[in-house]
Amino acid sequence: MIRLGLLIFTALTLFGCASAPKTNLYDDIGGKQTLHKVYGLAINRIYNDPVLGPHFEGVPKRHLRTELTNQTCELIGGPCEYEGKSMHEAHADRNVTDAEFFRLVEHVQQAMRLIGLTYEQENRILAALAPLKEQIVYQAD
């Protein structure tokens, strides 16, 4: 009987001390609604930017916001599926420079800060997006 009691005590102690499962970044930031807010703010800044704005002439804000939201959602563990063009295909004729790319990233960072994402959350999102740079920065020969 003592052994059974000890076994139950041990099991309860082990299971009771188990930490809760860690959430993914998507859940951690508040999901798609948060991404939608980030890109709403960032896109307004980007379209009003004298350097970046011309790159987006003819691209509806709503379309860009939806595409960026879905792409980021997918990249950070959310349930979304990005179904747009590849980054290379979407940017091949735009001759995006490193400076322009980083300027856009700054607008996204400022939007993340404005809505209250933590520095860690911001860095994790940017780390998920960073591999796309090599497909976006492209200059025709």
Which residues carry a binding-site annotation for heme?
Answer: 91
Q: Identify the sign of the CA torsion 74, 115, 134, 69.
A: positive
Q: What is the distance between the alpha carbons of residues 119 and 125, in angstroms, rounded to a whole number?
A: 10
Helices (H) and strands (E) in the chain, counts: 8, 0
Number of Cβ within 10 Å of residue 13's Cβ equals 9
Question: How would DSSP label each residue in 52-67?
Answer: TGGGGTT--HHHHHHH
Q: What is the distance between the alpha carbons of residues 90 and 111, in angstroms, rounded to a whole number?
A: 23
The binding site consists of 91
